[in-house]
Structures are given as structure tokens and as C-alpha cells.
Structure 1
Amino acid sequence: MAAVGYVRVSSVDQNLARQLEGMKLDRVFEDKVSGKDTKRPALQEMLLYVREGDTLHVHSIDRLARNLVDLRKLVETLNSKGVIVTFHKEALTFSPDQSNPMSVLMLNMMGAFAEFERSMIRERQREGIAAAKAQGKTTGRPNALTTVQAAIIRERAFAGESKTKLASEYSVTRSTVYAVLNNCSERDI
């Protein structure tokens, strides 16, 4: 019977320290990725690791899943393996041998709120991008090459120079060089 922890933050620069701080755990699985789905390396590893009689400790419901379907499926999967799931912030525990209707209701409500919050974040992000574009600001990653550099690379590549050499000279990847070559029209040649 192991005490297992699962902690998650959405990006690499965020800190995991406050989650499950001070708890004595046998093993902790850490993800630094979005909770939008269950395709997370540490989550998948944890699901394979836990055994009957283990207790999974999670700081809060939204750390385990950001949508209600995934949340319910994860808790059900863990319980079917004989694993107890405890959410500390919400003070909810789900065990395989008992089903508390109030806990199930709270899980569904909190999961729905987490899903709603994620939808609102995505909507605000789309609005921000649209507003930036309306103001004429560019969004996304900046181009690796200027238009002049791209033209020179095209000219030299079509003259027979090595694409690997050109990529190295301009400090870009070969795929960037090929993208420059693929994005030119007949009149550019």
C-alpha cells in the first residue's frame, strides 16, 4: 500500500512546490503540461504504477483533469484498480468500496467548473489574438529569416549549393531551408 502523489502545472516555468507540500509520499509523478486531455507522460506512468490498496493524492481536481469526462473516467479507472483517490483542496475522497453521493456530486460540479474555466481561458486567448491582429500586430513565432535572406537562400540552392550548408550558414534548420524553397512561386525562380 503506497502513498502516491500526482502534481501538474501547465507550463515548464511554473512551480510544482505548493502542491502536496509537506506530505510523506512513496512516489510522486510530475507533469508540466496542459491538463486538456489525458495524454500526459507522468499521468500515464502513474496509471500503470498504482496498485490495489494504494492511495493517490492530488492537490485539487483541476490538477488531475480539466474536463469532466476525463476526470470521471480517471477516478473510475483508479477506483476499479482498487486505488483510493484523494483531492486535498476539495477534501474529497473516492474509494472503490464506497460511493458517497455528495462526493460524486461535488466531483461533477468541480469538474464542470474546471472545464468551464479552461473554455473561458481559450476564449480570452482567441479574443486577445483577434484584438492584436486588428491593431496590426503580428502574432505567433517570428520568421527565422528575413525576406532578403530567404531570396538569397533560394538563389543559392537553385544554383546547386548544399541545403545543409545553407542551413548552417544562416543558423536555421534544414526544414526551414526546404520551407523557403517550397514557398516560392514560379516567378521567384
Structure 2
Amino acid sequence: MLVGYARVSTTDQDLTIQLERLASQGCERVFSEKRSGTTADRPELQNCLDFVREGDVLLVTRLDRFARSMVDLHNMLSRLASRGVGFRCVDQAGVDTTTPHGKLMLGVLGSVAEFETGLRAERQREGIDKAKSAGAYKGGKTRIDAHRVRTMLLEGMNPSVVARTMGISRQSVYRLMPSDDL
């Protein structure tokens, strides 16, 4: 069975092109989601990997829709291979784990994708640094009311209770705790 997986990074992006490409390849079942590239936070990817069976081939349109690092790529491909499932990338010709040449091509393209991700992160960091130096970047919004945490601690509340009350981790409470209380 041909099984497809499609992904875009944000909810305002459209999956249509990927879904059409996978359908044109004959996919009988397609899993799709609008999530960032981190593997752990993609439930439909996990459902897809759990769904495929021996003899199936998993299709994606491009490698960056499937994995964002060589480690993730190799881990998922090993998982598929151990179950007798092939992998094919529709828009990157030659990427097909059912052939030796396809396996080689997959390694090369996976390395290029990881390199591009690194370059993108580097450019983003440079942009943030430039914005900070110009005074335009203020960082993310505050998620924890530090004053309230400190007040609760000064009132004698246990750090674990403060964490539960505030809906934050104990580590966050300890980070905000005055150093003479540690």
C-alpha cells in the first residue's frame, strides 16, 4: 500500500499541493498536519509511522516535510526499514529506500536539508542580533509573573505548591527564588 504524509509548518499555510501530489502518486491513505518540523510534536506523523505495515511504501513530497535533521531522518528510516516499509520522496527524484542508489541519494539530500536548516537558523540569529542592537527586538512576552512567585515564596509557601498554583515548573520557581533562600 502507498501511504502519504504531508506537512506544513503553520496553520495559515496550505496543504493542497502536497495532498494533490501524493494522490497523483496513488496513495491510498494520507496523513497530514499543520505543525512545526520537530518530530516529537507531530501526532499525525506518529500515527502514520504506526499505521504502515510490511510491504508498504511511505511517500512524502520533499524531505523537509518529513524530517528536519539527519538524526531524525535516520531514526525514522531505521524504524520503517525494521518493519519492512519503504520510503520514497516524490519531488526529489531518486530518493527511494527500496534501491541502493536511492539510499545514497537520500543521505546526500538529507545532509543538504540539515545544512539549509542550520543556515536558516544562523540568518535568523543574525537578524535578531541586528534588531536587538537597533532596539527593535524586545524578546518574547513574559509568561510567568515573577513578582507573584516571589511574593508567594516570601509568604512562606513551599516552592512545589507555588509551582502547582502558578501552573509552572518547580525549576522556574527555583530560578526566581532569591539566592539567599537557596
- Which TM-score applies when normalising by structure 2? 0.71
Residue 141 (structure 1) shift:
3.6
Name 1:94's counterpart in structure 2: 97
Name 2:55's counterpart in structure 1: 53
Residue 28 (structure 1) shift:
1.4
Residue 20 (structure 1) shift:
4.0
Name the CA distance, whole Å, in 2 between partners of 1:84 and 1:143.
Answer: 46
Name the CA distance, whole Å, in 2 between partners of 1:9 and 1:104.
Answer: 25
Q: Which moved more, 1:6-15 or 1:28-37?
A: 28-37
Alignment of 1:134-153 (within 5 A): 134-142=133-141
> Relative to structure 1, is the Cα distance of residues 109 and 4 closer, same or farther in structure 2, using a 3 angstrom cutoff?
same
Name 1:126's counterpart in structure 2: 125
Q: Which moved more, 1:107-116 or 1:70-79?
A: 70-79
Which one of 40, 43, 46 corresponds to residue 44 of structure 1? 46
Kindly indicate whether the alpha-carbon contact (under 8 Å) linking 1:36 and 1:67 is maintained by their aligned counterparts in 2: no
Higher helix share: 2
Amino acid of the residue matched to residue 6 of structure 2?
V
> Relative to structure 1, is the Cα distance of residues 82 and 143 closer, same or farther in structure 2, using a 3 angstrom cutoff?
closer
SS of match in other structure, 1:53 = coil
Kindly indicate whether the alpha-carbon contact (under 8 Å) linking 1:78 and 1:84 is maintained by their aligned counterparts in 2: yes
Kindly indicate whether the alpha-carbon contact (under 8 Å) linking 2:35 and 2:41 is maintained by their aligned counterparts in 1: no
Name 1:35's counterpart in structure 2: 37
Name 2:154's counterpart in structure 1: none
Residue 135 (structure 1) shift:
0.6
Name the CA distance, whole Å, in 2 between partners of 1:6 and 1:109.
Answer: 21
Name 1:147's counterpart in structure 2: none
Kindly indicate whether the alpha-carbon contact (under 8 Å) linking 2:128 and 2:137 is maintained by their aligned counterparts in 1: no
Residue 50 (structure 1) shift:
0.8
Whose Rg is larger?
Answer: 1
> Relative to structure 1, is the Cα distance of residues 175 and 13 closer, same or farther in structure 2, using a 3 angstrom cutoff?
farther
Name 2:157's counterpart in structure 1: none
State the percentage of identical aligned residues. Answer: 41
SS of match in other structure, 1:112 = helix
Kindly indicate whether the alpha-carbon contact (under 8 Å) linking 2:96 and 2:103 is maintained by their aligned counterparts in 1: no
SS of match in other structure, 1:19 = helix
Aligned length: 164
Name the CA distance, whole Å, in 1 between partners of 2:80 and 2:119.
Answer: 29
Q: 5+ unaligned residues in a row in structure 2: which ranges?
A: 149-164
